[in-house]
């Protein structure tokens, strides 16, 4: 996942991080002394992308998200996410730490120490689901609000001529 934060000088900063999800909530571990943590402390708004490259442009699938990051302070939530991370990345359990820098080791051990590592929960407010198999530039836009998942999902198909076609999906 790539996470983009806002630097104090106004420039965006994008960084690749490992992540896990619990439903729509995304989590990532970062170092307390990382620039992105300083950025998030100042401005909790973040943008993220999740995807991979494809040799065929009509097979591109991914997510583009905007949301708010915070810091997990509850130990039970921290422990729960550590377990989720080991399910997603089982290789972390047997990772050799001999070749890792001390700060990196803090983030990669199965149960990171909270004094050097921050666990960020990121609550998406907008998710754009990209699926170019439905047409080049195709995306579904999902918005969240304080009331939970909005019932309105807007489908956008971006065309090369600059026009945007929008339609509302039919409800069952």
pLDDT in tens, 130-139: 999 998 888 8
Does the residue 147 lie in any domain? no
Residue that wins the pLDDT comparison between 23 and 4: 4
Per residue in 143-152, pLDDT tens? 876 545 444 3
What average pLDDT does this structure show over 12-39? Answer: 91
Q: What percent of the chain has pLDDT over 90?
A: 37
The whole-number pLDDT of residue 97 equals 54
The closest alpha carbon to 120, from 38, 7, 13, belongs to 38
Tokens of 37: 């943590």
Q: What are phi and psi of 87, to 5 degrees?
A: -70, -40
Q: Please check whether residue 142 lies inside any domain of the structure.
A: no
Residue 29 pLDDT greater than 50, yes or no? yes
pLDDT interval class at 156 (50, 70, 90): very low
- Does any domain span residue 104? yes
Distance (Å, whole) CA 40 – CA 36: 6
Which residues are CB-contacts of 147 (< 8 A; sequence separation ≥ 6)?
none
Exposed / middle / buried, residue 65 (Cβ in 10 Å: 0-12, 13-18, 19+): buried
> Where do the DSSP E strands lie in 23-137?
25-31, 45-51, 61-69, 117-131
Residue pLDDT, tens place only, 67-81 = 999 999 888 888 888
Q: What is the CATH number of the domain that holds 116?
A: 2.30.110.10
The domain of 68 spans: 2-136
Residue 146 lies in a domain: no
Residue 141 domain flag: no
* Confidence (pLDDT) at 96: 55
Q: DSSP character for 100? A: S
What is the model's pLDDT at position 170? 39
In 3D space, the residue among 122, 141, 101, 111 whose CA is nearest the CA of residue 45 turns out to be 122
Domain count of the fold of the chain? 1
- pLDDT, position 46: 97
Mean pLDDT of the chain: 78
Look at residue 146 in the predicted model and tell me its pLDDT: 55
pLDDT in tens, 110-127: 555 566 789 999 989 999
User: Is residue 164 a part of any domain in this protein?
Assistant: no
Q: Is residue 168 part of a domain?
A: no
Q: pTM of this prediction? A: 0.73
Please report whether residue 119 resides in a domain: yes
Element (H, E) at 105: helix 102-108
């Amino acid at each position: 996942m790539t996470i983009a934060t806002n630097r104090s000088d106004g420039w965006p900063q994008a960084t690749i991080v490992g992540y896990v999800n619990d439903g729509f909530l995304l989590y990532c571990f970062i170092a307390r002394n990382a620039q992105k943590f300083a950025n998030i402390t100042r401005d909790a708004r973040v943008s993220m992308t999740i995807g991979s490259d494809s040799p065929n442009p009509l097979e591109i699938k991914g997510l583009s998200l905007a949301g708010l990051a915070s810091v997990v302070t509850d130990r039970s939530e921290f422990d729960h996410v550590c377990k989720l991370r080991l399910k997603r990345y089982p290789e972390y359990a047997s990772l050799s730490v001999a070749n890792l820098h001390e700060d990196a080791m803090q983030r990669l051990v199965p149960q990171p120490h909270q004094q050097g590592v921050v666990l960020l929960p990121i609550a998406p407010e907008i998710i754009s689901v990209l699926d170019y198999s439905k047409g080049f530039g195709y995306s579904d836009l999902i918005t969240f609000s304080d009331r939970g998942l909005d019932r309105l999902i807007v489908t956008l198909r971006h065309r090369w001529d600059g026009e945007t076609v929008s339609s509302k999906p039919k409800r069952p």
